[in-house]
Amino acid sequence: MILILAEKPMAGARIASILSGGKAVKKTFKKHPYWEFEFNGRPAVLVPLKGHIIDVDFPKELNRWSEDTLRDLLSAPLLSRATEYNVVQLLKSLAPSVEEIIIATDADREGEAIGLEAAEIVLRERKVPVRRAYFSALTPEDIKNAFENLREPDYNLAASAYARREIDLLWGAVLTRAISLFTGRRGKNFLSVGRVQSPTLALVVEREREIERFVPIPYWVIEAVLHDGGVDFKANYAEGQIWQEPMARMLYETAKKAKTGKVVRTERRSDKIPRPVPFDTTTFLREANHLLGISASEALSIAESLYMKGLISYPRTDNQTYPPSLNLRKLVSNLTKIPDYKPFAEELLAQDVFRPSSGRKTEDHPPIHPVDVPKGKLSEKERKVYDLIARRFLATLMAPGTLERRKVHININGVPFVAEARKIIQRGWTAVYPTNIKEVEVPDLPDGAPVTVKSVKLVQKKTQPPSRYSQGELIKRMEALGLGTKSTRAEIVAKLFARKYLSGKKKIKPTELGRRLVEVLERHAPDIVTPNMTAQLEADMDRIAKGEKRKDDVVSESKDLLSKVLDELMQNRDRIRESFGDAGGAAA
């Protein structure tokens, strides 16, 4: 019997249906589904997992939180335990009949670890070959191709995931317990501190400080409303901002006396509007947050649901360049089935070749793109996310747009003004995907033409502080600093909201609790809230995946770093308690 391991029941059902030609028989073991069918002339059983079915934890005797056991956590053995007991029992019951294992979990770091830890349950009972089906989409073509071209499992990749799990458990447990104990916050009011979440929280706190430190500087602008050819249009003082009020008032008083102005000259130019690059995970999350108002964690969850339904490619990727093997023409042809996309898809299909835009190129999964069209009903948010991904895909293949800019220089009683027109004269990709270009209409006037001055205004403004992060912007910043991975960043941000360290929908700000926590850590254990150490650990885990470092060595080095941080915290325990002050009693 061939044992096939899928990551989740929805993916398992789809893979079983594809491999069996729709003939797979669904069965259950203690309410957990699995499928039986014939594959390549041999009996096969597909067992879907529930993500990790095995986890690691400290020995039970260390479950009690006390200062005396903090250092014991660093030297304690980490014990494996089943988190999905029924799935483990099912695998054990099947083990005597298994002749080969094929791992068909998500093709990334976590998927490799999830598949291999499940395979190990069977291997302890019976030594059999283990192969890997690697795919980027749950389509019949991708799945069949993956099972016709099985690979060896990537044990180094799985080891890097195991290393991350152990390191995150150690750092999270030690730091969370230490800070919670030192501040007197136990039980439900504990303070969560983490290797990635704490420096991420510090980014938001520091941005809030920048906003608070910002001292606005006043300046003045002069705005005119002009009229010609039946059209009102705006012009501004040609030199822009005026920093001295007397100068601004003198120019304003001069200009406002005029009833007419004269066109001096017109400057024209045409600019290409570059196409957006294909979606990697970070860019997708930023756009879903910005354009759809969907949080990063929810957007990723919806994308995973669309992937499970066989509608889009795997949504966790750093790649922004379509591989040559991707059949772009077939993907575009699929989209002709949807009326909203049909004219754009047909326009593309009329071309002999496609020349897609591109960005960062990695050996990762291809950029996120549609692989099929919905045949059943989608939720409103699923429909919006699918639409965003489909439109982005089309935009990366269409022609660049063309923007015409005109600067009309106008003399108003000796004071120079300029009116700026912007018009998209070739829509290109902007016909299918949103652009932030605002078109502005200004009459096309010949040199020397008179214009009517309807009004002139002197407006005082102030320089503005930096804006708060959106969720998408914060995730982009995390990526730039090496905080977390494409798979974990949205989850980290969601956790900060759940812990009530952050608030805000479109723009994020720290809560008083989140800010106080960062201040305490900065003062008494600054390494926890700076990105350098976390980014170095991320780099080390990448080296494990490449076979350049051993998992045990990286975990050991991480323990040494954590030990130094814990020493620092313990030396400052009294100051931490004092500096946290009345926030120690606030609700977490």
- Beta-strand runs (E) in 438-513: 450-462, 502-503, 509-510
SS (H, E, C) 145-172: HHHHCCECCCHHHHHHHHHHHHHHHHHH
The yes-or-no verdict on residue 585 having pLDDT over 60 is no
Does domain 281-397 match CATH 1.10.290.10? yes
Is residue 491 within 8 A of residue 195, CB to CB? The reply is: no
Local structure of 103: helix, strand or coil: strand
pLDDT of residue 581: 63
Closest CA to 84 of 8, 161, 23: 8
Residues 6+ apart with CB under 8 A from 60: none
- Per the DSSP assignment, residues forming a β-bridge with 39 are 42
pLDDT of residue 566: 92
Over the stretch 19-76, which tens digit does the pLDDT of each residue have? 999 999 999 999 999 999 999 999 999 999 988 999 999 999 998 898 888 999 999 9
Buried b / exposed e across 83-122, counting CB within 10 Å, b at 16+?
A: ebeebbebbeebbeebeebbbbbbbbbbbbbbbbbbbebb
The yes-or-no verdict on residue 584 having pLDDT over 60 is no
**Percent of the chain beyond pLDDT 70?**
99
Does domain 2-153 match CATH 3.40.50.140? yes
pLDDT of residue 586: 38
Among this protein's residues, is 314 annotated catalytic? yes
pLDDT of residue 513: 93
Local structure of 459: helix, strand or coil: strand
The yes-or-no verdict on residue 300 having pLDDT over 90 is yes
Angle at 406 between CA 404 and CA 411, to 5 degrees: 175
Closest CA to 433 of 465, 475, 389: 389
Residues 6+ apart with CB under 8 A from 478: 196, 200, 203, 484, 489, 492
What phi and psi, each to the nearest 5 degrees, are found at residue 460?
Answer: -90, 135
Residue with the two structure tokens 């929280």? 201
- Per the DSSP assignment, residues forming a β-bridge with 368 are 279
Burial class (CB within 10 angstroms; exposed 0-12, middle 13-18, buried 19+) of 401: buried
Local structure of 347: helix, strand or coil: helix
pLDDT of residue 535: 84
The yes-or-no verdict on residue 583 having pLDDT over 60 is no
Local structure of 380: helix, strand or coil: helix
pLDDT of residue 524: 87
**CA separation for the pair 440, 437 (Å, rounded):** 10
When pLDDT is cut at 50, 70 and 90, the band that residue 325 belongs to is: confident
**Both tokens assigned to 361:** 């190129």
Quick one: DSSP state of residue 315?
S
Strand bridging mode 42-48 / 2-6: parallel
pTM of the model: 0.88
**CA separation for the pair 67, 186 (Å, rounded):** 12
Cα–Cα separations (whole angstroms), residue 451 to 85, 109, 376, 445, 503: 81, 65, 59, 9, 50
Residues 6+ apart with CB under 8 A from 94: 1, 3, 45, 47, 122
Over the stretch 240-274, which tens digit does the pLDDT of each residue have? 999 999 999 999 999 999 999 999 999 999 999 99
**CA separation for the pair 8, 48 (Å, rounded):** 5
pLDDT of residue 587: 32
Considering the four listed CATH numbers 2.40.10.120, 2.70.20.10, 1.10.275.30, 3.40.50.10440, the one that applies to the domain covering 218-274+401-462 is 2.70.20.10
Over the stretch 326-373, which tens digit does the pLDDT of each residue have? 999 999 999 999 999 999 999 999 999 999 999 999 888 999 999 999
pLDDT of residue 270: 95
Query: Which one from 314, 322, 433, 501 is the annotated catalytic residue?
Result: 314
- Per the DSSP assignment, residues forming a β-bridge with 81 are 55
**Both tokens assigned to 115:** 């598949």
**CA separation for the pair 492, 74 (Å, rounded):** 24
Which is more confidently placed, 572 or 129? 129
Q: Largest Cα–Cα distance of the chain, in whole Å?
A: 97
Is residue 137 within 8 A of residue 323, CB to CB? The reply is: no
Cα–Cα separations (whole angstroms), residue 402 to 37, 351, 423, 430: 55, 19, 9, 10
pLDDT, averaged across the chain: 93
Is residue 236 within 8 A of residue 564, CB to CB? The reply is: no
Does domain 164-213+468-585 match CATH 1.10.460.10? yes
Over the stretch 402-430, which tens digit does the pLDDT of each residue have? 999 999 999 999 999 999 999 999 999 99
Q: Where are the domains of the chain?
A: 2-153, 164-213+468-585, 218-274+401-462, 281-397
**CA separation for the pair 152, 112 (Å, rounded):** 11
Transcribe 510-566 into DSSP letters: E-HHHHHHHHHHHHH-GGGGSHHHHHHHHHHHHHHHTTSS-HHHHHHHHHHHHHHHH
**CA separation for the pair 26, 69 (Å, rounded):** 48
**CA separation for the pair 29, 51 (Å, rounded):** 17
When pLDDT is cut at 50, 70 and 90, the band that residue 573 belongs to is: confident
When pLDDT is cut at 50, 70 and 90, the band that residue 118 belongs to is: very high
**Both tokens assigned to 212:** 């608070």
Angle at 197 between CA 194 and CA 203, to 5 degrees: 135
Residue with the two structure tokens 């994020």? 508
Is residue 15 within 8 A of residue 143, CB to CB? The reply is: yes
